[in-house]
Amino acid sequence: AQKVTQAQTEISVVEKEDVTLDCVYETRDTTYYLFWYKQPPSGELVFLIRRNSFDEQNEISGRYSWNFQKSTSSFNFTITASQVVDSAVYFCALSEAGQGAQKLVFGQGTRLTINP
Amino acid sequence: NAGVTQTPKFQVLKTGQSMTLQCAQDMNHEYMSWYRQDPGMGLRLIHYSVGAGITDQGEVPNGYNVSRSTTEDFPLRLLSAAPSQTSVYFCATHGSGGTNYGYTFGSGTRLTVV
């Protein structure tokens, strides 16, 4: 069975600090996809990134970066120079490929608070 | 281009009442699904559909029914609401093939059963 664990329930940092959100996953599949979503206080789910299991290159998008390591089954998310607008709940998720791709398995989420 | 539209945004039901949560998409995606979000538990899959006329159960299907008569619509029915179904419900779509985007979620329906 697939499982996603986000061990950090809540994180609070001061603005401009760097912060890393951890995500560890379990799957028996060799082909799978990993996702990060942001849920701001308004409640919608905002897609941040999708990574397939064959692509272990790290991804950088502005202040956001992702570190995918198959050896440790981790897909961590780092925000550099955090801003108050980054305050949200962040979810890591996993799906199979093919017919299983419509089943997303979510972690419990990490509530990130950026204090001014 | 609305993407995924969920109605209503808020709903209060009494125990035993029935209702349908609506989900419509204009993205021509094959796959649609329903998730519920409860505090501390992330989102959990209720039901999903891989195309019109085809549905299947997810992780927490009990108490919910779905049908998919068209590509665009995927309603979620609560036949006899229970307080345990108090939650935020999200509908999602995604297309098939080697696309490089994630799921698209609706804005959610906050349901309270009293």
Closest CA to A8 of A21, A24, A25, A26: A21
Q: What is the pLDDT of residue A99?
A: 64
Q: Residues of A with CB below 8 A from B68's CB?
A: none
E-only strand ranges, B3-42:
4-7, 10-13, 19-25, 31-37
pLDDT digit string (tens) for A3-56? 999 999 999 999 999 999 999 999 998 889 999 999 999 999 999 998 989 888
- The predicted structure's pLDDT at residue B103: 84
- CB distance from A90 to chain B under 8 Å? no
* Spatial separation of the C-alpha atoms in residues B24 and B76, rounded to whole Å: 11
Which member of A35, A49, A103 has the closest CB to residue B45? A103
Residue-level pLDDT at A36: 96
Q: Are A1 and A51 in contact (CB under 8 A)?
A: no
Provide block-wise average pLDDT over 10 residues at a time, chain B (114 residues): 89 97 93 92 92 93 96 96 97 71 87 97
pLDDT in tens, A51-102: 989 888 888 899 999 999 999 999 999 999 999 999 999 999 999 876 666 6
pLDDT at site B64: 97
Test mutation, A77, A104, A106, chain B, max B CBs within 10 A: A104
The DSSP letter of residue B32 is E
One-letter amino acid identity for A116? P
Q: What is the pLDDT of residue B59?
A: 92
The pLDDT of residue A101 is 66
Residue A107's SS3 state is coil
Q: Can you tell me the distance from the alpha carbon of A93 to that of B51, in angstroms, rounded to the nearest whole number? A: 23
A101: nearest Cα among B102, B89, B35, B61: B102
Contact at CB, B102 and A47, closer than 8 angstroms: yes
Q: Supply the pLDDT for residue A103.
A: 84
Inter-residue contact A78 to A19 (CB < 8 Å): yes
CB B79 within 8 A of CB B20: no
Amino acid found at A69: Q
> Considering only CB atoms, which residues of chain B are within 8 Å of chain A?
31-33, 35, 40-45, 48-50, 58, 88, 90, 92, 94, 96, 100-105, 107-108
Taking the C-alpha atoms of residue A109 and residue B9, their distance in angstroms, rounded to an integer, is 22
